Structure 1
Amino acid sequence: MSDDKTLTKIPHFNGHYDHWSELMENLLKAKGLWDMVERGFVELLDGALLNDNQQALLNEARTRDHQVKHYLFQAIDRTIFEQILDRRTAKIIWDSMKRKFGGNDRVKKALRNSLRREFELLEMKKEENIGDYFGRVNMVCNKLRSNGEDMNDSKIVQKILRTLTDKYTYVVVSIEESQDIKAMTVDELQSSLSTHEQKFTRKSREEGGVEQVLKGKRLSS
């Protein structure tokens, strides 16, 4: 089916349609096959007369459609496969998956509202590190994006700066005074905060070491 030198890893459909469809779309675009889903092709009626060039183009379209169907069949298990009654072309299969598992606008709107509320309530926990907090924030943001919400970096950066723990207060002030927050990316902010976190950790260890020395001196005196 493919001239790839390495085995293509097919995204397996696990019930989360938006995530799966994005991965599958990216795969098909990388293979140059997305047009078979986007536009598809129509089989000619039996007995239709074609010249050699038209027949060659039709044969190529059939082959490419079979390639996409191969990827789709690899991505779904037998239970879902049997739910798709019309499997004539890749586009028909894709559209059927979208109708069955993509959710309607009302469901997505309700989910967006729930995720917006979750995003608003996010704040860094006292014992949480920068990496873990950014992971929680990004997880909610990615879910919002998957459901049609515009989540740009500026919005996320400002949210994080507002919800860090108190020990980062002076760091936040310094960042806001020295940088253009609206132009800052989430990755840039995480890198900056991680650097300060390492300084906090190092300082805490040094202070702990000094305290242990002082305790030892008091005990020995």
Structure 2
Amino acid sequence: MKKKYQGSSRVKCAQLQALRRDFEILQMKDGESMTSYCARTMGIVNNMRFHCEKMEDVAIVEKILHSLAPKFDYVVCSIEESKDIDALSLDELQSSLLVHEQNMNRGSTTEEQALKEEVKEREIEAIEMATGITKQMVINFKVEDGINNLTNPR
């Protein structure tokens, strides 16, 4: 039964070689979330362990740290300086990276909102210049129209 699920030794060796290569070339993709990247990494590691490969946690921690997207470079430096990498668990690393990712995303969300507001204001200015109707005129019209609708229902 065991042989049926694991396959012959040649097949097992080939699968393990492919997994080792996948682990070696593993890099975080642009736009990939930390959760997704860690899950992808652990999927490869778990398959390697299933094929009886000895994988120390410290090797996995180092691989994750050195294969993150460039936007995490300062986080990697911070973790390497402040923590003992040899004693750092995978859960601690993932938690720390998730917190940093959330902080980075929070900052970029406010930047995106500011950019959207700026674009909206420029669009309004362009419409005002093209039509001669100002934002205040539109607001006044809506207020007057609302008052007329209240006092003179149709």
Fold equivalence (TM over 0.5)? yes
Q: CA deviation at 1:187?
A: 1.1
Q: Name which of 46, 70, 87 aligns with 1:142.
A: 46
Indicate the percent of aligned positions where both proteins have the same amino acid: 45
1:99 and 1:200, CA in 2 relative to 1: closer, same or farther beyond 3 A? closer
| Larger CA deviation: 153-162 vs 108-117 | 108-117
- What does 1:1-221 correspond to in 2, within 5 Å? 97-218=1-122, 219-220=124-125
Instruction: Provide the rounded CA distance (Å) in 2 between the counterparts of 1:121 and 1:141.
Output: 13
Q: Secondary structure at the match of 2:52?
A: coil
Partner of 2:141: none
Partner of 2:148: none
For structure 1, the 5+ residue unaligned runs are 1-96
One-letter identity of the residue aligned with 1:175: I
Normalising by structure 2, report the TM-score. Answer: 0.74
How many aligned positions are there? 125
RMSD (Å) for aligned C-alpha atoms:
1.8
Q: CA deviation at 1:216?
A: 4.3
1:100 and 1:170, CA in 2 relative to 1: closer, same or farther beyond 3 A? closer
The answer to which structure has the higher helix fraction is 2
Cα pair 2:6 2:12 within 8 Å, conserved: no
Q: CA deviation at 1:170?
A: 0.5
Instruction: Provide the rounded CA distance (Å) in 2 between the counterparts of 1:205 and 1:101.
Output: 47
1:202 and 1:107, CA in 2 relative to 1: closer, same or farther beyond 3 A? same
